[in-house]
């Protein structure tokens, strides 16, 4: 019996007024329906915004450390339920149980950080030129805010945005990715158990083009934080800012990894498996362009192909599986489209490039890790985000050329360089146009106590997470007081 789940508004589970539902399925076995979810309407979003508006005055007056206590309890709830949560993630998004457990662990770590931020929501006292004036700043919440999350970190990204928003004193309306609606129900249950008062956090499920679009247009949402594709994020950002709202968006990447001649190529190939193939490349920080000195290109490509051959693709629950399926049919088709385009444009397929259906994989969206060599800057796979397990090897003649090619992209999220040359490493860190960068570390490595975000079209607005997590969610008020008046 498949359960029908509801929206979470004002602390209650309620149906959408549409009377319609959609399904979330297991991408490893598309015959398995995980639940029915509300196909919500604009009216449902408005109801959630009304509930959040009513809850705002009391919540914004609640002492900040008391708000932080909720996140401390959330951390404990996550710890208690870590295995159940990992299993839902694997079932709904397809990633291996090992990776799903890692996502839960990172979310626990983030709550350690964010619950402590409650006691660090500080302003400044600033000396005045006038001896009669005492001047300072205080941080205030924005009001009712919106959070829109993607599918690839279905537990993490939602919580990493909601948690700092509510600690800052805002009330929230959340729209999860439709593909990962089940884990989002669990997110609401976890916050409820942690003591979030009615109306402070609300969730409305449904399509991006109806529910998500209303987040862009509704003037009562003072701010919207979005993670997802650049096309959607930029259009949403235009809508939000055109009505005077505040926008934060974490979007796509076309992340380069540069390999210099002095690097240990065996270690580099292992690192590239993590950054390029893991989670099927459904990582915004994943390496998709491997920029390598010509003299070592052939050897590194061979090593990478050997590693790609060893990646175990299968049901994420099975022991030893590295990669589960991609999220859905549309993502499968995106992968196949880019593989075909690369071949048509003259890239050399070294490994993979196909859907996998043998050995019981025919009911899911399984694909092979893929390596293309002889990729040039003009080719589509060197320019557009695939969000699939595809590494494009691009040969260059010098370090200078490597830097130029690495920066020749509209994106600027993450990057890596592999070298023992400290001078080049520091030079790279200074010149690379990305918001996150790495030396001898996979490009998708992150910890939640560091600020996170990109340059160029990869991000809009202040950094998420770490010490900067609350920046987007608060306004400064500047106060001048003359006590001697």
Ligand X SMILES: NC(=O)C1=CN([C@@H]2O[C@H](COP(=O)(O)OP(=O)(O)OC[C@H]3O[C@@H](n4cnc5c(N)ncnc54)[C@H](OP(=O)(O)O)[C@@H]3O)[C@@H](O)[C@H]2O)C=CC1
What secondary structure letter does DSSP report for 352?
A: -
Q: What residue 446 binds from ligand X, ligand AKG, none (CB within 5 to 8 A, per partner kind)?
A: ligand AKG
**Spatial distance between the Cα atoms of 224 and 10, rounded to a whole number of angstroms:** 19
Kindly state the smallest distance separating residue 386's Cβ from ligand AKG, in Å: 14
Phi then psi for 206, rounded to 5 degrees? 145, 180
Which residues contact ligand AKG (rule: CB under 6 A)? 152-153, 157, 160, 227, 250, 283-285, 444, 446, 452, 464-465
Catalytic member of 117, 250, 350, 395: 250
Q: What is the 3-state secondary structure (H, E, C) of 35-93?
A: EEEECCCHHHHHHHHHHHHHHHHHHHHCCHHHHHHHHHHHHHHHHHCHHHHHHHHHHHH
Asked if 207 touches ligand X (CB under 6 A), the answer is yes
Phi then psi for 413, rounded to 5 degrees? -90, -65
Asked if 213 touches ligand X (CB under 6 A), the answer is yes
The answer to whether 250 is a known catalytic residue is yes
What secondary structure letter does DSSP report for 225?
A: E
Q: Between 199 and 253, whose beta carbon lies closer to ligand AKG?
A: 253
Kindly state the smallest distance separating residue 282's Cβ from ligand X, in Å: 7
Give the SS3 label for residue 421: coil
Kindly state the smallest distance separating residue 241's Cβ from ligand X, in Å: 14
Kindly state the smallest distance separating residue 443's Cβ from ligand AKG, in Å: 9
In this chain, which of 37, 366, 387, 473 binds ligand X, going by CB under 6 A?
387
Chain centre distance of CA 78:
19
Q: Between 266 and 329, whose beta carbon lies closer to ligand X?
A: 329
In this chain, which of 209, 359, 423, 484 binds ligand X, going by CB under 6 A?
209
Q: Between 225 and 301, whose beta carbon lies closer to ligand AKG?
A: 225
Stretch that binds ligand X, among 40-48, 134-142, 205-213, 346-354 (CB under 6 A): 205-213
Q: What residue 151 binds from ligand X, ligand AKG, none (CB within 5 to 8 A, per partner kind)?
A: ligand X
Q: What residue 6 binds from ligand AKG, ligand X, none (CB within 5 to 8 A, per partner kind)?
A: none
Long-range contacts of 14-19 (CB under 8 A, 24+ apart): 16/40, 16/41, 16/44, 16/204, 16/206, 17/41, 17/43, 17/44, 18/44
Stretch that binds ligand X, among 64-72, 165-173, 226-234, 422-430 (CB under 6 A): 226-234
Asked if 208 touches ligand X (CB under 6 A), the answer is yes
Q: What residue 90 binds from ligand AKG, ligand X, none (CB within 5 to 8 A, per partner kind)?
A: none
With beta carbons less than 8 A apart as the criterion, state whether 99 and 278 touch. Answer: yes
Q: Between 411 and 446, whose beta carbon lies closer to ligand AKG?
A: 446
Asked if 388 touches ligand X (CB under 6 A), the answer is no
| Residue numbers 398-437 binding ligand X by CB under 6 A | 413
What six digits make up the tokens of 292? 């390598």
| Residue numbers 154-183 binding ligand X by CB under 6 A | 175, 177-179
With beta carbons less than 8 A apart as the criterion, state whether 435 and 277 touch. Answer: no
What secondary structure letter does DSSP report for 474?
A: E
Which of 372, 385, 370 lies closest to 344 in space, CA to CA? 372
Q: Between 157 and 173, whose beta carbon lies closer to ligand AKG?
A: 157
Which of 268, 343, 262 lies closest to 301 in space, CA to CA? 268
Asked if 150 touches ligand X (CB under 6 A), the answer is yes
Asked if 304 touches ligand X (CB under 6 A), the answer is no
Kindly state the smallest distance separating residue 140's Cβ from ligand AKG, in Å: 25
With beta carbons less than 8 A apart as the criterion, state whether 46 and 103 touch. Answer: no
With beta carbons less than 8 A apart as the criterion, state whether 182 and 14 touch. Answer: no
Spatial CB neighbours of 358, under 8 Å, sequence gap ≥ 6: none
Asked if 227 touches ligand X (CB under 6 A), the answer is yes
Q: Is 358 exposed, middle or buried (0-12, 13-18, 19+ CB in 10 A)?
A: exposed
Q: Which residues are catalytic?
A: 250
Give me the residues that bind ligand X (CB under 6 A), please. Answer: 148-152, 175, 177-179, 207-209, 212-213, 215-216, 227-229, 232, 236, 250-253, 284, 385, 387, 413
């Amino acid at each position: 019996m498949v359960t029908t789940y509801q929206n979470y508004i004002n602390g209650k589970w309620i149906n959408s007024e549409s009377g319609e539902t959609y399904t979330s399925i297991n991408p490893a076995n598309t015959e398995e329906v995980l639940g029915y979810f509300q196909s919500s309407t604009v009216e449902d979003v408005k109801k959630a915004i009304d509930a959040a508006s009513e809850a705002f005055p009391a919540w914004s007056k609640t002492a900040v450390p008391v708000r932080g206590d909720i996140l401390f309890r959330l951390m404990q709830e996550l710890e208690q339920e870590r295995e159940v949560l990992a299993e839902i993630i694997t079932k709904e998004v397809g990633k291996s149980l090992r990776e799903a457990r890692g996502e839960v662990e990172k979310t626990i770590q983030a709550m350690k950080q964010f619950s402590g931020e409650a006691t660090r929501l500080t302003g400044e006292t600033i000396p005045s030129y006038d001896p009669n004036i005492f001047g300072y700043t205080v941080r205030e919440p924005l009001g009712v805010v919106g959070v829109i999350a993607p599918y690839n970190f279905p537990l993490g990204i939602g919580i990493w945005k909601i948690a700092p928003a509510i600690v800052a004193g805002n009330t929230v309306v959340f729209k999860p990715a439709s593909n990962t609606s089940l884990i989002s129900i669990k997110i609401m249950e976890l916050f409820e158990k942690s003591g979030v008062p009615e109306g402070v956090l609300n969730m409305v499920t449904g399509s991006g083009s109806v529910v998500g679009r209303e987040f862009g247009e509704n003037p009562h949402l003072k701010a919207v934080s979005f993670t997802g594709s650049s096309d959607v994020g930029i259009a949403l950002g235009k809508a939000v800012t055109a009505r005077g709202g505040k926008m934060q968006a974490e979007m796509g990447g076309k992340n380069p990894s540069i390999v210099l001649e002095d690097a240990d190529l065996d270690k580099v190939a292992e690192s590239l498996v993590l950054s390029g193939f893991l989670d099927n490349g459904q990582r915004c920080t994943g390496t998709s362009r491997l920029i390598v000195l010509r003299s070592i290109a052939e050897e590194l490509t061979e090593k990478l192909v050997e590693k790609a051959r060893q990646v175990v693709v299968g049901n994420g629950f099975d022991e030893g599986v590295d990669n589960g399926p991609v999220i859905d049919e549309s993502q499968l088709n995106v992968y196949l489209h880019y593989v075909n385009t690369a071949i048509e444009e003259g890239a050399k397929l070294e490994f993979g490039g196909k859907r996998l259906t043998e050995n019981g994989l025919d009911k899911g969206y399984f694909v092979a890790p893929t390596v293309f060599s002889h990729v040039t800057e003009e080719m589509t796979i060197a320019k557009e985000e695939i969000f699939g397990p595809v590494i494009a090897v691009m040969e260059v003649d010098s370090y200078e050329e490597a830097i130029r090619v690495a920066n020749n992209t509209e994106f600027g999220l993450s990057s890596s360089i592999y070298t023992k040359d400290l001078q080049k490493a520091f030079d790279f860190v200074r010149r690379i146009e990305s918001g996150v960068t790495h030396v001898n570390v996979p490009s998708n490595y992150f910890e939640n106590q560091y600020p996170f975000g990109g340059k160029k079209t990869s991000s809009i607005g202040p950094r998420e997470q770490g010490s900067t997590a609350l920046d987007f969610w608060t306004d400064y008020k500047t106060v001048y007081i003359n006590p001697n008046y």
